[in-house]
Amino acid sequence: ATPVAIMVGTGKGAQLGILYKSAEALETAHTVDTVVLDKTGTLTQGRPVVTDVAAQAPFTEAELLQTAAALEKPSEHPLAQAVLQYAEEHGVAPAAAEKFEAVPGRGVHAQLNGTMYSAGNAAWMAACGADVSVLEAQVHHMAETGKTPLYFAKGNQLMGVIAAADPVKPTSKAAVEALRHMGLSVVMLTGDNRRTAEAIRTQLGIDRAVAEVLPQDKEREVRALQESGHKVAMVGDGINDAPALTRADVGLAIGAGTDVAIASADVVLMKSDLLDAVSAIELSRAVIRNVK
Ligand code: ADP
Ligand code: MG
């Protein structure tokens, strides 16, 4: 594109709250054939809310909630915030845990009164030796409605499950639809479990969901698409998304996202609206069309 076309395109973008960090970003965006979207905080609000608390006998709901609050208190994960919010609303003050450790993409563990407890997904429970099969039917139901189940265990004894729902943003569905209309293939990447991911994928009309992706593996998913010949745009907001945003042919950061994501992206969506990812690609197409 000519310098004038780039200037006009960049200016038009700025008016819309779409910041192209370079001329190259504006010129490359029209070449993408695949758009990879992070789920939490990009397609969804990123502020999950607890919807269900199910204790497993002999544990009571009160014990489960007390344990959950204590374990999640030191965690910075949005799911931990949801548990703490719920605990607070139910008058549960979190006890102080010891030897807290977070395992990215899996969960946490910590000691309470000298006993090790853990919280997290099914894979993490398996790693902690806790059998979750008694809750299978209940958990499947939660996941099929798009909720994320969090398991809690005392040693290797399952205490129960807490489900959290993270509502999709109002414009996510329209944005996915528009991207598909432009002939782009839409892929969702998430650390969440398969069933929950599938529920959100169906709800939003997304072509493909890659679930249970460890935070450090998001970049590899983008690279695999590129190696099979695709030009990839990636949209994300989290620290975990930063390497994938850098790797993508065009990385787009949600403006309300983390500083690291914004620093790693080629384009910043100031209004944090996924419809602006659509506009960002359309604008690039328009700029290229006008100079040909
Ligand atoms: P996402 O892509 O949804 O942000 P993460 O990679 O952060 O997912 O986490 C993947 C999964 O690990 C979560 O869906 C949850 O089941 C589990 N997990 C992570 N951190 C915690 C935590 N603090 N408490 C309970 N579960 C957790
Ligand atoms: Mg995110």
Instruction: Dump pLDDT digits (tens) for 5-48.
Output: 899 999 999 999 999 999 999 999 999 999 999 999 999 999 99
Task: Report CA dihedral (177, 36, 210, 216) to the nearest 10 degrees.
Answer: -160
Which residues share a beta bridge with 153? Answer: 118, 158
* 271 Cα: distance to centroid of ligand 1 (angstroms): 26
Residue pair 72/84 in contact (Cβ under 8 Å)? The answer is yes
ipTM: 0.94
* 118 Cα: distance to centroid of ligand 1 (angstroms): 13
Calpha distance 251→241 (Å, rounded): 10
CATH 3.40.50.1000 intervals, the chain: 3-45+168-291
Cβ of 121 below 6 Å from ligand 1: yes
Using one digit for the tens of pLDDT, what is the confidence trace for 146-192?
999 999 999 999 999 999 999 999 999 999 999 999 999 999 999 99
Cβ of 150 below 6 Å from ligand 1: yes
CATH 3.40.1110.10 intervals, the chain: 49-165
Does the domain at 49-165 match CATH 2.40.37.10? Answer given as: no
Using one digit for the tens of pLDDT, what is the confidence trace for 272-285?
999 999 999 999 99
- The CATH architecture to which 3-45+168-291 belongs is 3-Layer(aba) Sandwich (3.40)
Using one digit for the tens of pLDDT, what is the confidence trace for 109-153?
999 999 999 999 999 999 999 999 999 999 999 999 999 999 999
Please tell me the residue having the least CA distance from ligand 1 atom 9.
105
Residues noted as catalytic: 38
pTM for the model? 0.93
Could you please report the per-residue DSSP string of 43-93? IB-S--EEEEEEE-TTS-HHHHHHHHHHHHTT--SHHHHHHHHHHHHTTPP
Instruction: Quote the pLDDT of residue 261.
Output: 96
